[in-house]
Structures are given as structure tokens and as C-alpha cells.
Structure 1
Amino acid sequence: MAWIRRVRTASGATAVQIAESVGGRRRIVRHVGSAHDETELGLLMDRARKLLEDDAQGQLDLGLSLPVTRAAMVPAPTQTLFDEPATVPARRPVVAAPQVLRTSSAVLYDALAGVYTDLGLDALEDEVFRDLVIARVVEPTSLLDVDRVLADLGRTSASLSTRKRTLGRCQDGAYRDQIAELCFQHARASGDVSLCLYDVTTLHFEAAEEDALRKVGYSKERRVDPQIIVGLLVDRHGFPLEIGCWEGNKAETHTIVPIIEAFAARHGITDLVVVADAGMLSAANLRALDEAGHTFIVGSKTAKAPIDLISHFRWHGDAFTDGQIIDTVTPKVGKNTDNDPALRREPAWDPEQHPSSWRAVWSYSAKRFARDNKTLTAQENRARAAIEGDKPARTPRFVKTQSDGLVLDEAALARARRLAGLKGFVTNIPATALPAAEVIDSYRDLWHVEQTFRMSKSDLRARPLFARRRDSIEAHLTIVFTALAIARTVQARTGLSLRRFLRQIRPLRSATIEANGAVQTLPPALSSSDQAVLNDLKNGAT
């Protein structure tokens, strides 16, 4: 027995399907289409009912009135013995009513395919890969469900086996290397690639067992599922340039040097400025980048402030003014005497004079101080509650254990409040080449890579991963990497977030109709705002 079912998709549309029960198991017989409003849903439901009544193509009345020639009444002929017999006019066939064959978001597909072409990705000469990437941008879903998304976009999807072979071709054909080269060329033509931003994230798996790649490791979300470490390198505007993955239990600090070296070797770059957060701050990383001829700007840890600002604290105490910047030095390892507290003036870093130190820039913000102080007060309250008998899931900060029980670590709390409002940066760029204010401004661009990661996790839903083999995982990351390039380009050209862009353009439906024996596709009516967005997307390539 067959019936009609309506399913809510992840994008908010309503999919209309015809299902049947075979041997007690449900099977989807036909996907009629996806509706984005009540009008489309009514058309699709009517079409589905007609398909159930008759397996032939049903008819949907569009309200189009086509002229139909009707047969005229002819009086009976009068015939004499010598007259020729009168010819009775033949009845003309009645023209069938027009019908909707299908609707689709072809405008959206064409717009994204245009961006794909503008980035030069057509050089891969793989239409199936292109469709997988565009489907990932529009509505991330499983490889099995891609045909539904592409059908809604007006495309006929390749078979599942062909899609699987495309993932293998993606690895065997070194697609990621080609895409990285094309992305670099686009970024270089659009701006400056001498400064790149780097960060890492984790992607977890719906799997119970570990293997050589998927490992249980440190998770910022405190998950215990197997995961991988993903590193992403972007330009100062967040456009992706390089992506890599490592075992889930690998330390984040061990990822930056391999991906930077691969990027520099691929494009022959010798003077790259790398910006990363404090998680990448390790003596080995900074030394390796410096020896390779690259410069860096890395966030410093607040705990290093008493060492770096020892002269300031001696001569000025812990008083700071809003926006104050202190340009000084920081030891590469441990402590040294490059910053002499007996001297009132902060040392100006010079690679020849201070071979055992890096340049350190510290800034103070009253707004940051208020935020840090609020956080410290909340942490102090949690610590006091734990001391008084509250049993939290883990021991709060500023709680230490003594022989007589838990006590508040007042010295650590006072030290933290003294450093509230401070933010430090470590670099190997001399002040003569880059003033302290520009060091801070360059680091502030780091939010672009964080935004790109959020896009990959939310809009493109790069996780959780269901792939098991490493080549499939790598192919998935290549598709996500390419989709990120398209998404960032859409944002840069239209000024809209990817989600807002899709919400505005996807409901524009093209209709393919059959009338008077002819099949024709009618484009949707575009409002002025819709046309402006599409023009921005197209003209941004020039």
C-alpha cells in the first residue's frame, strides 16, 4: 500500500514523498519535491495525490486558460442525385490543460556554480564533485541524501556508487592540492597573503572505537568520542588557504609547523607572517618558524606578564591607563636578565642584542579589565561555595587543599586580579618593521579564522563525521574546504552571512510546465533586493 508522507528537512523546507510498505518495511518510492511555503506544498500534495491515482504524470491546474478550438455543429447535408457528397469537417483534438512538471531552486544553484567557476575550480573537470560541494553549501547532509538536495536545486544527481567513486577520485587525483593552489591565486589577486591566520579545532565521530587516526583526546567541549585535529590556515579576511588533519590525541602545538611548511613549500613563500592564539605558544614552534625564515605574532599567556613586565611593576606598580601599550621582551625559555628591573626604561628588542628573548607587546584595556574582573568574581564565588561544602563536578579555580581541608588560594586570586585587563603578544618582528599598535591590530584579525571554523561547524556541518576510512575522511575535509571557499566568497561579495543568503535566494523557485504539448521552464519573479544580491554576487568577480 502506498501513501503520501511529508518530512521536514534540515533547511526548514517540507519534502513530499510517496512511500509504500514492502514486507513490513517502509520504502520511499518517489521524491515529489520540497516546498518552502504553503502554495508550493499544496501543489506538491496535489501532484502526489494524482500520482497515487495514476502512475502517469498527473495534471495541476495553473489557472492558465489556453484557447481550445471546439467542433462546430454542421447541418445535415442535402444531397440530390447528381450532387457531390458534402465533406464533414473533422473534429479537432482537445488540448490538455497545462501542468507543472517540477519546481526547483535553479537560481540558487546557478549562482553558486558561478562562484565555483569564478574561483577557477572548474579546472578539476569533475561535475559530480562540484555538485557535492554545492550541496554541502546549501544543505549539508549525508552522501546518501545528496540526491534529494540536488533534485531540489534542479539537478539530476549521479548514482550513489558514482558519488563514492568521486570521493576516491578526490584523493587519488590530489584535488586538495589543486584547490589549495587555486584558493591561493584567488586570495593573492584579491589582497595580501603575506599575513596568514592559523587555528585548530576538533571534529568528533559517531563511533565507539578508536583507530590509527580517530583518537580520544583533549576536547574543548569535553567530549569523550573519538576525534581528529583539524588545522586551518586562512588569509587576513578569513578566506581558506590550507587545511590539514591529525590524530585526535595530538597536541595542538605540534600542528602549526607542518601546515605552515606545507603552505610555504607549495607556493614558494619565504617571508610569511603567521598569526595564532596562545595555544600555539611553545618554544619549539617559535624557534622552528624563526629558523624557517617566517615571522609570527602569537598570543601570550597572562601568567607570563609578571616576568615580562617586571620593570613596569617595580617603577609604576600595577597602575595602567586605558589603551596603554608596553613594548618589551620576553624570555624564549625560562628566565633571563634581558629585562633588568634596575632600569626604568623597557628594553627595545633586537635579535642581535637579545638572542635568548623574543619581542613582547602588552596592552591594557579598561573594558577587558571589567570583563576579567567579573569572571574572577564568579570564579571566587564558586571557589568559596566549594570550600563551604558544595561539591562541583570538578575543583574550581583558586581552591587549594591543605591538611585541614579546602581553603581559598588568596595569593593566586590577588595575582590574577593584578593582571586583569592585560593582553600579551609575542613576535619576532622588530619595532622598526612593525609598530606595537600594528602588532595588536594584526592579532585582532584572528577572529576571521574563528568565524570560518564556526561556519564549517554550523553552516556546513562538518561534524559529526560518519566516515571510517582515512581517505574518506580526507575527501570529506576537501569538500568542506572547497565549500568554505565558496561560502566566504559569497559573504565577501554580498555582505550577507551564508545563512541569510540561502534564506533569501533558495525560495526563488523556477517552474517547469507542460502546456499545449510544449515543455517550458519559467524563471521566478525577482524583487529588487533579490536582483541586487545576485548582481553583487556576479559583479564581485570583476
Structure 2
Amino acid sequence: MAVTRDGIPVRVWCWPGNTGDSALIRQVKDDMRDWTLSKIVWVADRGFSSERNRRYLRQGDHAYIIGEKLRSDSPEIKAALSRQGRYTTIAANMRVKEVKVSETERFVICHNPDGAERDAHIRTQLIAQLQELIDGSDTLSVMKRGELRGKISTKPGLHRFLRVTPGGLLRIDKAKIKAEANLDGKYLLRCSDPHLSAADIAVGYKQLLEVERGWRDMKQILDLRPVCHRLEERIRAHVVLCWLALLLIRIIETTTGDTWHNIRRDLQRLHVGTFTGPTGLFRQRSDLSKPQQDLFAKLAIPTPKQMIELAPTSR
């Protein structure tokens, strides 16, 4: 999906699931070349972070922002996470810190305090669940203990915190817990543009997260769930419908300066009541709250009529 700096989607593509990265990148670059844009910044997740992909994305004066895997053996990633420095707050739930690792690329660590609390809470639950599983395992036979270990290995979230002693006993890995706590609420970005600020890099990557959230919203909130289409044109039509709905959401968000989650919550409180009596039937909307009035005003939408229908009883 192509979006503007403000996050407005302007174009969407879709391919068969087995299409290689290089093929889709080439097509998008060719299509966007016709638009004669002054600058294109590619924003991708860690699936695109191979050196070959990064080199291709930089061709033609383009730049990229790519999310990196924090739990990586890469020397660059380890170096970036070990660098000291102070975070700069750029939003209520976002802090950024740029670290010097490479002469050709920039690395920005982003920290979400709300996300950190959520990560810590999930880890506490996982550790409690793991502790419950291994309690009393010291008394089991070697074979039974091996079976329990094999069962835990099928659950990556639990297995991550499991330690096996030289004697084969199962324990909670406290060193791993400490290492994971250092990653709470964080994600690492790699950028090739020397001119973007650290805040712009973080906001640019957040647009990718917003696009992915938009696709989930289309499938869940609007109930446009995946359908087993038989024809390719129907698949593409389905994607375009999702894209159009996302376009409307983004226009509403940028116009009102609020999130779609809050806007939807306020609008869902607007109801129409149906009243019947001896003289007939009428339908009337509920009184508009102040947030609802402000939304209609910002979007330049006429407020709904208070009296929707009036049907006297025929005599």
C-alpha cells in the first residue's frame, strides 16, 4: 500500500501469496515511477530486512525504514541495543532514541510505555503458567521429565523462559527474564535516509502498523472477513473494498485529529428509537452529545434529523 506522509492511502497492490519480494518491489517501483514523486520512503517489517532487499530499495535515490528483530544474533542489533542514551518523548505513548552503529545506516530505538506494561504483564502470566507446569517435576522420572520438557517446547512463549540444569532438572531462567524485561515496549528501526529526524522515522514506521491495524479492522470491525473467492478479480475487488474503507477512516482521523477507535465509540452512542401509540408511530434520534456535535462539525456533515419518521394511524 502507498500512503502519503499523513498516512492517507493512495494506492494498493495485491499479488499471489507465493510472489517473491524482489518481484513485487520491482513492480511497485515501476508503477510509482510514473507518478514522478520527489521522494519515496519504503516502510517494511523485518521480513524485508535482508541485505539484498535493502540494497535494492536504495536504488534510484529511494530510502527505507525497516523494523528489525530485537531477538537477533546480528552484531549490529546487539550493538544498537547496548548503546546508552536518553529517550526523547514524541507522543504520549512513544519515546525514541537514535544510536550510532553504522556509517551508512541509522538505528532508532522506539519505546512505548503502555506496550512495556503490557509486555511485562504477559510475561508474568507466562512465567506463572510455566512455574505451575514444572512444580514437582524434580520427583518425576527422567523419562517423564523429558516428556514434560518436550510438551513445553511446543509452546514458544513458555519454552523461552525454561532452563534445564546439568542434572536435567527444570527451572525458570531468571537471566532470560531479565533480558526480556530490557526489551519491554521496544522495537528497533533501521533507516537509510540521512535527513529524516528520529521522530519522523518512528512516525513513518508507525504508519505501517496503522495500515496493518486497518486491515484487521476491515476484517473484524466491519466484518469483511476472509472469503474463499474463486476468481482473481473477486479477490482484488475484496482488497479494494477494504482499501476504500481504510481511506475513509484515515480521512476522518486526519480531519478530526482523533483516532478511529474514539470516533467510533462516540458515534455508536447515537441511536434511533421507535415509539408507537394509539395515534401512530414515530422514529426519533437520541440527543447529540458534545463530542458528537464536534465530530459532525469538523467533518462538515449535516447533523441527522431529529425526527426520522412520522406515521399517523389511519382511520
TM-score of the two chains, using structure 1 as the length reference = 0.39
1:234 alignment partner in structure 2: 3
Aligned partner (choices 75, 87, 97) of residue 325 of structure 1: 97
Residue deviations 1:382-402 (CA, integer Å, cap 9, x gap): 455555465459233334789
Distance 2:174 2:113 in 1: 23
1:344 alignment partner in structure 2: none
Gaps of 5+ in 1: 1-231, 331-348, 352-357, 510-521
1:305·1:424 contact (CA, 8 Å) conserved in 2?
A: no
One-letter amino acid matched to 1:289 = L
CA RMSD between the two structures: 4.6
Alignment of 1:40-51 (within 5 A): none
- SS of structure 1 residue aligned to 2:10: strand
Distance 1:528 1:373 in 2: 40
Aligned partner (choices 149, 154, 164) of residue 394 of structure 1: 154
Q: Which has the higher helix share?
A: 2
Q: Sort the Cα spacing of 1:378 and 1:272 in 2 relative to 1 into closer, same or farther, 3 A.
A: same
- SS of structure 1 residue aligned to 2:61: coil
Q: Sort the Cα spacing of 1:423 and 1:536 in 2 relative to 1 into closer, same or farther, 3 A.
A: closer
Q: Sort the Cα spacing of 1:472 and 1:407 in 2 relative to 1 into closer, same or farther, 3 A.
A: same
1:448 alignment partner in structure 2: 210
Aligned partner (choices 409, 420, 423) of residue 183 of structure 2: 420
One-letter amino acid matched to 2:58 = D
The answer to whether the aligner puts 1:243 opposite 2:12 as a matched pair is yes
The answer to whether the aligner puts 1:285 opposite 2:45 as a matched pair is no
One-letter amino acid matched to 1:329 = V
Q: CA deviation at 1:417?
A: 3.6
Q: CA deviation at 1:475?
A: 1.8
Q: CA deviation at 1:428?
A: 0.5
- SS of structure 2 residue aligned to 1:244: coil
1:278·1:300 contact (CA, 8 Å) conserved in 2?
A: yes
Aligned partner (choices 355, 362, 367) of residue 109 of structure 2: 362
Q: CA deviation at 1:446?
A: 4.0
- SS of structure 2 residue aligned to 1:467: coil
Q: CA deviation at 1:500?
A: 4.7
Distance 2:293 2:177 in 1: 59
- SS of structure 2 residue aligned to 1:450: helix
Distance 1:394 1:309 in 2: 27
Q: CA deviation at 1:465?
A: 0.9
Q: CA deviation at 1:312?
A: 7.9
Residue deviations 1:76-132 (CA, integer Å, cap 9, x gap): xxxxxxxxxxxxxxxxxxxxxxxxxxxxxxxxxxxxxxxxxxxxxxxxxxxxxxxxx
One-letter amino acid matched to 1:269 = L
Residue deviations 1:327-357 (CA, integer Å, cap 9, x gap): 2235xxxxxxxxxxxxxxxxxx2x4xxxxxx
2:193 alignment partner in structure 1: 429
Distance 1:461 1:322 in 2: 39
Judge which range, 242-251 or 454-463, deviates more.
Answer: 242-251
TM-score of the two chains, using structure 2 as the length reference = 0.62
Aligned partner (choices 53, 67, 89) of residue 299 of structure 1: 67
- SS of structure 1 residue aligned to 2:107: strand
Aligned partner (choices 204, 215, 240) of residue 478 of structure 1: 240
Residue deviations 1:466-507 (CA, integer Å, cap 9, x gap): 421111111222223223323433444455747457646784
Alignment of 1:98-247 (within 5 A): 232-247=1-16
